Chains A and B, each alone.
Chain A
Amino acid sequence: MRDHDVQPSMLTRRGVLGGMGIASLALLSAPASAQETVDLDVPGGPSMRMVTTSYPQKGRMILQRSSPPWLETPFEVFDQGVFTPNNQHYVSWHWANFPADIDVDSFRLNVRGQVNQILSLSLKDVLHGLPRVDIAAVNQCAGNSRIYAVPRVAGAQWADGSMSNAIWTGVRLKDVLDRAGVKAGAVQVRFGGLDDPAMEGAPKFLKSLTIDHARDREVMIAFAMNGEQLPLLNGFPLRLVVPGWCGVYWVKMLNDIEVLDHPDTNYWTATGYRVPDTPYNTVKPGETGFKMVPVTRNAPRSFITNIGNGDSVPAATPALARGIAFGGDCGVARVDLSIDGGKSWQPAQLGADHGTYGFRQWQTQFTLPAGGAHTLMVRCTNTKNVAQPGFRIWNPAGYMFNTIETTHVVAAKG
């Protein structure tokens, strides 16, 4: 059953190298053993990942899976600004069957189902026939930080880099739906892309939104990120952008919009991507008897980006902590830093607001009173007055983790 359909042209040395596991490295000759790796610092491992530059239009990325690609944004990128460069925006595909050859003249976006007028829009129609909008928004996988779940759970072993922020440019989904004319009785809108399952009978990747959400004027069809066309692996030529919601809804290579008069029953909408219907989606390992609901909105998160675990910080001297935060499904109200393991908190200064759903930079001075080990913590409170919790969130699939982050440092006498 192994897939023998891989095109010979893809089996380049580069491509094959990119797919090797860490364990294989020992078998390679000198040039390949110089391969850069990153330590994700996870108890129980495996902690080491290769850093790859082999994927088209992508720079240095952490290789979580060769195919279908899971490429994680290296964490140091988040210290360089609030907008993630396109060539380091994280990549995640469910199925490997997506085209690498896309002709912009023949591509069509179809709108069908419960509409008065079926549409087949060219990219020219999308770029020039509808009002254009921009929005800054974080695209975060629901499984971001899953590798740090305690106990560990199966799934993409993302560290903290399956999130990226961009200015998205495109057209409102509402304007496209209005052009087609949504019929009375429409309840959901289902989105599909050019990717197809590898197995016959397997569920094509589709996600749906309620008709009201689809027409909220924020959900958009993006044709540009940070002023440039989307990289292939981030969904060229069109991608759904659902501000404030998990990345799974942001359907890539979007070419099919179907207005439904009934709730979507496809696997990805009706069964996959479920969390416990409990506060913070958290349960105890082994606990049963809770209802499962779909992942939807992002939750507030914040990170220190200029100080890492194990770093040395001068004692009794003012130092700078800096990082990023996002409110989740709304803006950032405040970010607080603790240097005593969460006993007391000091407010951080917020950087420029580039948009409700984007990253917000923060910084503050702090002074560690004495030498030795210290614990830094950072907490975001969003504009709905929801703060990151101090307890460890856990659920069976490792979704929606937003516990306060902790950084262990050592204060050194100057």
Chain B
Amino acid sequence: MLRAVLPIVTVLGFALLAYPGEAASITTLKSLKLDVPTSDTMFPAGPESDAINNNCLACHSADHVLNQPSLSREAWQEVVNKMITAYKAPVSPDDAKAIVDYLVRTKGTS
């Protein structure tokens, strides 16, 4: 992503603002009725993908997990524990272990 920086002579002064930042004279608000996109993407298939698909997608889309860095087993265990204890995800102990195994296999550090 190479970009060339222009010499000073061609770039003068502060970039001026598109937004004036004036005190708002707004007097009424308009009702909104919108559609917010959701996602039906599942986790990539493989061992224990049923466990992660069945337990994790009720609260957040798969990209939440797919965009995470590679982490150690201990770190993934901590994430799954937090989902269960802090955010009350009703995950059985067997499924919790399967989810950690899936995460370590697909996004582990070793």
Chain A residues within 8 Å of B, Cβ to Cβ: 1-3, 6, 9-12, 14-16, 18-24, 39, 44-46, 49, 54-57, 63-70, 79-83, 85, 95-96, 100-105, 123, 127-128, 132, 134, 136, 147, 152-154, 157, 167, 169, 197-203, 223-224, 226-229, 232-233, 236-237, 267, 271-272, 306-314, 317-320, 322, 351-352, 354, 361, 363, 365, 409, 412
Contact = CB atoms under 8 A, between A and B. Distances in A.
A12 B35 CA distance: 10
Given A39-B1, A63-B63, A267 B86 contact: yes
27 contacts: A6-B40, A15-B35, A16-B38, A19-B41, A54-B37, A56-B34, A66-B37, A67-B36, A69-B36, A83-B21, A95-B59, A96-B59, A102-B33, A134-B24, A152-B71, A153-B75, A154-B79, A169-B24, A199-B89, A203-B88, A227-B19, A227-B26, A308-B1, A318-B7, A320-B11, A351-B14, A352-B14
Contact of B26 (A9, A11, A23, A169): A169
Name, among A1, A127, A201, the residue most crowded by chain B CB atoms within 10 Å (CB to CB): A1
A130 to B, nearest CB: 14
Interface residues of B, number: 64
Contacts of A65: 60-61, 63-64, 67
Given A169-B23, A314-B5, A363-B14, 13 more contacts: A6-B38, A16-B39, A21-B62, A55-B36, A66-B63, A83-B18, A102-B33, A202-B59, A307-B5, A311-B2, A312-B5, A319-B5, A322-B15
Contacts of A69: 36-37
A320 B8 contact: yes
Interface in B36-58: 36-41, 44, 53-55, 57-58
Contacts of A202: 59, 87-89
Interface of B: 1-9, 11, 14-41, 44, 53-55, 57-64, 66-71, 75, 78-79, 86-90
Nearest to B19: A83
Contacts of A64: 63, 67
Contacts of A16: 37-41
A23 B30 contact: no
B86 A272 contact: yes
A203 B86 contact: yes
Given A167-B21, A198-B58, A100 B34 contact: yes
A230 to B, nearest CB: 9
Given A152-B71, A200-B88, A227-B26, A11 B60 contact: no
Contacts of A236: 29, 32
Given A15-B38, A169-B24, A152 B69 contact: yes
A23 B2 CA distance: 25
Q: Which label, helix, strand, loop or mixed, suits the secondary structure of the A interface?
A: loop
A46 to B, nearest CB: 6
Contacts of B28: 104, 127
A330 B8 CA distance: 31
Contact of A308 (B3, B41, B90): B3
A2 B54 contact: yes
A80 B90 CA distance: 46
Contacts of A308: 1, 3
B52 to A, nearest CB: 11
Given A15-B38, A83-B21, A409-B5, A154 B26 contact: no
Contacts of B24: 134, 167, 169, 224, 226-228
